[in-house]
Amino acid sequence: MNMINNKNKEKIMKMKPMGDQVLLKAEKTQETTKSGIILTSSVNNYSEAEVIAIGPGLFTQTGDKIPMTVNVGNTVLLHSRLLKGDNEVEVEGEKYILVRESEIAMYHG
């Protein structure tokens, strides 16, 4: 990871997600196959993203903490529709995705 990305992550850490929110950086997806075939968005319904920051988790009505499952640095798989629109946030000129942990389909630790 280069120095610029590390600096951006340090800036992001000043703003922390609330509750079960997860801040993600979408990974570049391959838009063409090795043979040059252009893929449409309908071909790949899921995309990968890196976890940049996580909230503290949620609490039950009795005060018990429900810990977060994902951690900073994990790679997650989420539906591509979450990468656009209302879930996009911009911090320090960088675009990120903010989702609830329950919207993440899978993760790799």
Residue 58 lies in a domain: yes
Class of residue 25 by CB neighbours under 10 A (exposed 0-12, middle 13-18, buried 19+) = middle
Spatial neighbors of 64 by CB under 8 A, at least 6 apart, are none
Mean pLDDT of the chain: 82
Domain that holds residue 8: 3-29+44-108
CATH code: domain of residue 78: 2.30.33.40
Length of the chain: 109
Q: Is the pTM of this model over 0.85?
A: no
Q: Establish if 35 belongs to a structural domain.
A: no
Within-domain flag for 34: no
In a domain, 36, yes or no: no
Give the CA angle between residues 83, 66, 86 to the nearest 5°. Answer: 20
**Is the per-residue pLDDT at 24 higher than 50?**
yes
Please indicate, yes or no, if residue 37 is contained in any of the structural domains. Answer: no
pLDDT at 9: 54
- pLDDT: which is higher, 70 or 31: 70
Please give the tally of structural domains in the chain.
1
Give the pLDDT band of residue 43 (cuts 50, 70, 90). Answer: low
The verdict on residue 61 lying in a domain is: yes
